[in-house]
Amino acid sequence: MESDERWAFDDRGAAGRMLGAALQHYAGRGDVTVLALPRGGVPVAYEVAVALGAPLDLFLVRKLGVPGHRELAMGAIASGGVRVLNDDVVRWYGITPDDIERVAGEEARELQRREAAYREGHPPAPIDGRTVILVDDGVATGSTMRAAVTAVRQRNAARVVVAVPVGAREACDELSALADEVVCPRTPALFTAVGQWYLNFEQTTDEEVRRLLSVRRSAHR
C-alpha cells in the first residue's frame, strides 16, 4: 500500500476506475458480486463493477453516532440485524446501553427506508457461495465496513474482499484481520477524513444511487 500526502482523486468516479484496475484479478469471473456501501460508495463501486464485468448491488450499513457528536462513530449496524460497536469509544464517552439502543433504533429505521427507496422492488443480490467485493469511497475508523464484513460472512459468502481507494492505515490493518483480502491502494500517514483525499467530494444523491444501479442492472442482464 502506497502513501502520498499530496495525492487526491478528482472524484469518486476516478477513484473507482483506479480501484477497478487494482482488482483485475477478479475480472471476468462468474462468481463475483460487487456490493456498494451507500451512498458515497455507489459511484466508486459502479466503476469497479464495470471494470470487472460483475453485477452491482447495495449493502446497507448505518453508522451509530455518539450522542451529541454524531459525526463520531461508536459502531454501526448492517442489513440482517448485525451490530458492531467500538468498545473504546463507548467507554471513553460513557455511553449507556439505553443510548446505544436509541441511536440503533433511529438508524435501523433509516436503513429500512433506504432499502425500500434504493431497491425499487428488486431483490438483494445472492451472496451465499460467492466472492463478495465490498466497496466504499474510503475508510476512516472502519466501523461501517467491519459491520458489512461481519454481515456478509453471516450470509455465507465464499470470500470477502474489502476494496476502498483510500483509508487510514490502522483501519485497513484491522479490516485485514476480518476480510480475506483488503485492497486499499492509498493509506496516507496523516489521515483525518475521507473527504480530504478528493478534489470533488459532493454528497452522492439518492437519485444518483438509483440511476447507477439501474444502468448496471440493464447492462448485466
Domain ranges of the chain: 12-219
Residues linked to residue 82 through DSSP beta bridges, in sequence order: 78
Give 162-165 contacts, CB < 8 A, sequence gap 24+.
162/134, 163/19, 163/22, 163/23, 163/48, 163/133, 163/134, 163/135, 164/19, 164/44, 164/135, 164/136, 164/137, 164/138, 164/139, 165/9, 165/15, 165/16, 165/18, 165/19, 165/44, 165/137, 165/138, 165/197
* CATH code that applies to domain 12-219: 3.40.50.2020
List the pLDDT tens digit at each of the 221 positions of the chain.
443 446 789 999 999 999 999 999 999 999 999 999 989 999 999 999 999 999 999 999 888 999 988 878 888 888 777 888 888 889 999 999 999 999 999 999 988 888 888 888 888 888 999 999 999 999 988 888 988 998 899 889 999 999 999 999 999 999 999 999 999 999 988 888 899 999 999 999 999 999 999 999 888 76
Which 3 state secondary structure label does DSSP give 84? Answer: strand
Cell numbers representing residue 99 in the block: 443510548
| Residue 195: exposure state from Cβ atoms within 10 A (0-12, 13-18, ≥19) | middle
